[in-house]
Amino acid sequence: MPSRLMSAIAAKIRTGECILFLGSAVHAGPPAGSTIDYPDEQRPLLAGRVAEGLAKLCDFHALFPDDSASDLQRVALCAELDPSVKRNGLVDYLGNTLMKTTEPSPMLRLLAEMPFRLIVTTNYDGLFEKALTLAGKRCQKYVYVPKPNTPTRDVVKDPTPEQPVVFKMHGDLDLPESIVITDEDYIQFVQRLAESDRNNAVPGYIRQRMQMWPILFVGYSLRDYNLRLLFRTLRWDIDPANDPGSYSVDRSPDPLILKVWQDERKFITFVIEDLWSFVPQLREALGQAP
């Protein structure tokens, strides 16, 4: 029997007015003892491993011996400034590490089968789009445009569960110029959020629905400062009485973030579950066949 919380999330999804927001940890492997397999060779590298590889390319450890090589934004900036890597080498490395011999995980494929109409992701890879295709769906893809005073293309056709909109908020590997990965890229992205509606980084259709519809965060930790900043910026002027609420799947949420964001300010309800247990439970609550 699905829990009350799981049933509430499923009810929001059934209306077609719940946004699936995907982060990189959606590609994490199954927990120990799982009966479902997702081999290492089929998975893209997660952020920490990507940062470690980039650190070797630009000799980050020698240049900044006291800094953590797991800080992807800082390491990526170092790589971009390295004459032997530059921007093209940085993006090529991402493509080679994120998309080489990779497949959507079983959990990603289950999420793709669910009736979401709008999906927002900060992932650069195309694995969710591939999962949608495997589910017999055709996605409408929109990608962030980093150039100032240039609008990100707005949604032109209302999405349906069979033809959902996927917005690549931090870029797409198929469009190297769109990638948001360095410190400077993130600063520029936040600046773009302050531009006029016509030139905003996020299409108007999607901004409006992010203010009106609940969001289900999967594959994130809300300890991520950039994610919290983005969330607050997009919902800055909402009357708390009209806040649609949101959910974050996190098996171990940070206690300070939980206290502030859930208990005190009620921005987020945390679903304290592992991805690999949450998705099958959600599928059951939606009444989809096992």
Give backbone dihedrals phi and psi of 248, rounded to 5 degrees, phi first: -130, 120
User: What pLDDT does 289 receive?
Assistant: 63
User: What pLDDT does 290 receive?
Assistant: 62
CA distances to 2, 26, 227, 277 from 249, in Å: 15, 10, 14, 10
User: Of 73, 129, 114, which Cα lies nearest the Cα of 216?
Assistant: 114
The residue extents of the domains of the chain are 4-29+104-285, 45-99
Q: Taking the chain (290 residues) in consecutive chunks of 10 residues, what is each chunk's mean pLDDT? A: 86 95 93 89 89 94 94 96 96 86 91 98 96 97 90 91 97 94 94 80 92 95 90 84 91 95 93 94 86
User: Of 248, 284, 283, which Cα lies nearest the Cα of 112?
Assistant: 283
User: Of 216, 221, 29, which Cα lies nearest the Cα of 114?
Assistant: 216
User: What pLDDT does 53 receive?
Assistant: 93
User: What pLDDT does 33 receive?
Assistant: 85
Q: Which CATH number fits domain 4-29+104-285: 1.10.3720.10, 3.40.50.2000, 3.40.50.1220, 1.10.630.10?
A: 3.40.50.1220
Q: What is the DSSP letter of 8?
A: H
